[in-house]
Amino acid sequence: MKKIFFGKRFSGYHGSSLSGLEVLVLSLIKNNPDVTGYDIIQEVNNKFKPIWNASAGTIYPLLERLITKVFVKAKEIIDENNRKKKIYTITTKGIEELEKALKGHFKPSLKTLGTFIRTIMEGVKIDDNTEQMFSCFPFCDRGYEHDIDENDISRKNIEYIKTIIKNLKHRRKGLQHRLKKIKNQIEYYENILHKIIEIRESEAKPIPIIDDDSEFDNF
């Protein structure tokens, strides 16, 4: 994964380039001003576990490279516990670099990441964490019919179509799992709702209806 997505190079500022991980870290800093290195590591791990885990040995050297390139600046502060902390903010140059790097590259990279994840997850039991991770990525492959030459009878084209079918079946299996889970959740909440309504109706006090015209005789 690191080589396929995090290690992918994005062309950007003055012909320089960013790796996928640098793009991710710059985005996190841009969206979370005054973030610490520890916060960045936790955020990356929350997004990508259990597929990949960021370590201090990966993130801190990367932050130093971004500082050297003047894409990020760091400042030391004293927190409420009287401890030194280093916080990071993105520079104007960093914002420009990020925008140029992402322009025209973000969607294809997500597709590459999605293809990779589907490949390594084939045959793996889908758990809640995996399901949550899959739902965060819009990497559904559409338009296969435009990529296929129906007149191409080569072995390569045959294997390509087989791969498409295999991937679609794997996606269908994942969707069936999610639909089953959603169905169970609907039934669970419907049962709760039914019980609540029954209790409410049983505890409701009847409103007495007066059917005696004598009290209106004096009107």
164-187 pLDDT per residue, tens: 888 788 778 878 888 888 899 999
**pLDDT for res 7:** 46
**pLDDT for res 173:** 82
**pLDDT for res 175:** 81
Q: Rounded CA gap, 11 and 13, in Å?
A: 7
> Which residue stretches of the chain are H helix?
20-31, 37-48, 56-68, 92-102, 106-121, 128-135, 144-147, 155-203
**pLDDT for res 91:** 94
**pLDDT for res 74:** 94
> Which parts of the chain sit beneath pLDDT 70?
1-17, 50-51, 104-147, 207-219
pTM of the full predicted structure? Answer: 0.46
**pLDDT for res 55:** 87
Q: Rounded CA gap, 158 and 170, in Å?
A: 18
Which tokens sit at 126? Answer: 């889908």
* Ordered structural domains, the chain, with CATH: 2-107 (1.10.10.10), 140-199 (no CATH)
**pLDDT for res 2:** 43
**pLDDT for res 75:** 93
The amino acid occupying position 198 is: E
**pLDDT for res 93:** 94
Q: Rounded CA gap, 58 and 69, in Å?
A: 17
The amino acid occupying position 211 is: D
Cis-peptide into 33, omega within 30 deg: no
